[in-house]
Amino acid sequence: MMKSNINIEYIGLVGKKMAQEASVPVALHLDHGQSYEYCLTALRHGFSSVMIDASVKSLKENNAITKKVVAACKHLGISVEAELGYVGEGSTYDNDSDDSYKTLPEEVKKFVAKTDVDALQSLSAMPMVLTKRLLRLTMED
């Protein structure tokens, strides 16, 4: 597991202050939290949503960890995002032709049903190149 050098307490204080001063609603989101404990630390310091990224673990472990984070957050009204499968890096999307590691739609459906997660980041078997082109078209319109 990767150790974070980010002081989550400090980020929470600064983020909450900035959110209070904003003229629009603001969410303070923990992105790619690497463990259940780190997600709980973010909650204790004012984050209003979390992403648990247990995608490097087995599917069974990812299910269990994500479900545990969701259970801790739901009664607090905190939304939870998770990651399933290998999403990759933006710099490699156009060059990536290997679909073997991508998440199957059936896995996504089962994962969401088992974990009750609010949002999911996953790369399905649809080529990312197509997704990027659609995004460009939408943004240019």
Give the residue numbers annotated as catalytic, written as ranges. 31
The tokens of 115 are what? 């974990």
